[in-house]
Structure 1
Amino acid sequence: MIDSHVHVWTDDCDRYPRVWPGSEFSPLHFPPEDYFRHSLPNGVARAVLVQMSFYGFDNSYMLDCLRTHAGSFAGIGVVDCSSVDVAAAMQELARHGVRGFRIHAESSPEAWLAAPGMQSMWKCAAEDQLAVCALVNPDALAALDQMCRQYPETPVVIDHLGRIGVDGQIRESDVQQLCALAKHDKVHVKVSAFYALGQRQPPYGDLLPFIRRVFDAFGPRRLMWGSDCPFQIQDGHTYADSLALLQEGLPFLSSDDKSWMLGKTAEALFF
């Protein structure tokens, strides 16, 4: 099995400085060894590391983790989309095991996706088959659709089910908009971060109808499970809770469906 969404960081801020303190994040220190204490007892030995936001464009800690734990991790990095050298930065990171690049909307999604640097990123991602990994709210899905139309060969991964339900409400219009993106063959969705969606209570049964809609739209080969560790393992939620929803809580999944969503999809895209 492969966990498609994990964050790691260190409290060694001298060696790995932060662009903003990040003191509100708990725990203060979450290296790979701490992650493995949760994942390995549950049968998960590989994961995709997602650059932690407070490191900004400095991917050094993630790259060091990829080197130290060769074969266990792939990486999703962050680059400066306003830079004229964004493609070169992506290609350099790709040489070190980074297979995707995270983007998020800071203001208007339309203006954000139309920026020249963003266009360069999507073009490079299409040419080198690197994933554009979008942390977006439902209001950015229309702009994402426009970019997918413009760059149909760019692999795209939508984090955390498009964050539908993050305010507690799973709206039909949002679900329809997310599912409509399945018409783009290169779009994938992370079925992840259950602790933050809907009623936010294990075993997350309220998410079942929503996930079924997404499954019917995309199929198992374009869906991948992710824990969003360490945020999943706080406030009464556990790593096992997240995994159990895929293993036991979605009765419509066949054993082959589970094998794709719990590993094969992420392996094909990131490893």
Structure 2
Amino acid sequence: MNPTRRSFLVSSAAALTGCSLVPSFKKGDWIDAHVHVWTPEVDKYPLARGYAVSDMRPPSFTPQQLFAHCRPEGVRRIVLIQMSYYQFDNRYMLDVMRQHPGTFSGVAIVDENAPDVAATMTQLVKQGVRGFRIYSGKATNLSAWIGSPGMATLWKTAAELKVSVCPLINPDTLPLIDKMCEWYPDTSVVIDHFARIGMAGGFKEADVRNLLRLARHSKTHVKASAFYALGAKKPPYTDMGPLIRQVRDAFGPQRVMWASDCPFQVDPGHHYRDSIALIRDRLDFLSETDRAWMLRGTAERVFFSSAAV
């Protein structure tokens, strides 16, 4: 893509999202848009049915443990993603957000089939939640999304509250998400981890095309994240560069946000620094403006802005 065309796309997308054109590139003020935290205090914060303490790997990942990794790299704000260990009980995440005002935003998990799901979402948004995670999981769950009154309520309520739906999906779910973006054009959507394209080791062209197709929906965003789990799965992760470039070109940098997916990004053989450095330092096709959007501006607009409550 030539620079003139890309500049036009960036300007046009910035206008559509209602945000300033060029965020400042202030080093040391980055946002990590995807982190899970949990605590060994299972008496205070019980695990959901089906989970045991032995499932918690690592046994603990608290804010203090996170800060030891992220603060040396200039990350000051974090988007917490409700951990599956707790399912619909978002209390630990909310308590962490309250204990560190201004540091965390949150993405909660709710039961979309509960009769009071809209009221539950509203109360969570009042407590600082700015997104709601949905899973594709098994094929039976996918079919349940189509025509599901609960899923329809979740998407519509997210739009009314001016918060995001955050799908954790595999590539084969992208066509369904495309349909749902058509059905709910006012709902902000944030796709986790490139829709896990590359988890099997390669980047299938058909999967990439389906991801890039979502760029036609002006409220859809992509997380450039989970580098440890995609492609070659080895630092410095530069094999991710072509996919990142295609996503940047299609969506514009103001609809792409970097995230680590800690604590999994700091599993043995991987380091927090290598994740942020890929965007911050290593990909020479990213301009300073691209980096400012991807490392702060996009996540700030989506997850740290006011909601309609």
Alignment of 1:156-235 (within 5 A): 156-235=189-268
Q: Provide the rounded CA distance (Å) in 1 between the counterparts of 2:232 and 2:53.
A: 27
Residue 242 of structure 1 pairs with residue 271 of structure 2 = no
The aligned counterpart of 2:155 is 122
Q: How many residues align?
A: 271
| Alpha carbons of structure 1 residues 183 and 249: separation in structure 2 relative to 1, 3 Å | same
Q: Give the conservation status (yes or no) of the 8 Å contact 2:197–2:230.
A: yes
The aligned counterpart of 1:79 is 110
Q: Provide the rounded CA distance (Å) in 2 between the counterparts of 1:53 and 1:171.
A: 28
Q: Give the conservation status (yes or no) of the 8 Å contact 2:77–2:104.
A: yes
Cα offsets for 1:53-106 (capped at 9, x unmatched): 010100000000000001000000000011121111110000000000000013
Q: Give the conservation status (yes or no) of the 8 Å contact 1:82–1:118.
A: yes
Which structure: larger Rg? 2
Cα offsets for 1:103-162 (capped at 9, x unmatched): 001333243243110000000011111100000000111111111001001000000011
Q: Give the conservation status (yes or no) of the 8 Å contact 1:158–1:188.
A: yes
Q: Percent identity?
A: 54
1:227 aligns to what SS in structure 2?
coil
User: Given the alignment, which residue of 127, 132, 139 partners 1:96?
Assistant: 127
What is the TM-score normalised by the length of structure 1?
0.98
What do you get for the CA RMSD once the two structures are aligned? 0.9
The aligned counterpart of 2:87 is 56
1:114 aligns to what SS in structure 2?
coil
What is the TM-score normalised by the length of structure 2?
0.86
Q: Provide the rounded CA distance (Å) in 2 between the counterparts of 1:195 and 1:270.
A: 24
User: Given the alignment, which residue of 2, 9, 13 partners 2:42?
Assistant: 13
User: Given the alignment, which residue of 282, 288, 292 partners 1:259?
Assistant: 292
| Divergent runs of 4+, >6 A | none
Q: Give the conservation status (yes or no) of the 8 Å contact 1:113–1:144.
A: no
User: Given the alignment, which residue of 66, 71, 77 partners 1:35?
Assistant: 66
Q: Provide the rounded CA distance (Å) in 2 between the counterparts of 1:113 and 1:63.
A: 30
Structure 1, unpaired ranges of 5+: none
| Alpha carbons of structure 1 residues 88 and 262: separation in structure 2 relative to 1, 3 Å | same
Residue 23 of structure 1 pairs with residue 54 of structure 2 = yes
Structure 2, unpaired ranges of 5+: 1-29, 305-309
Which amino acid in 1 is paired with 2:225? S
Q: Give the conservation status (yes or no) of the 8 Å contact 2:167–2:190.
A: yes
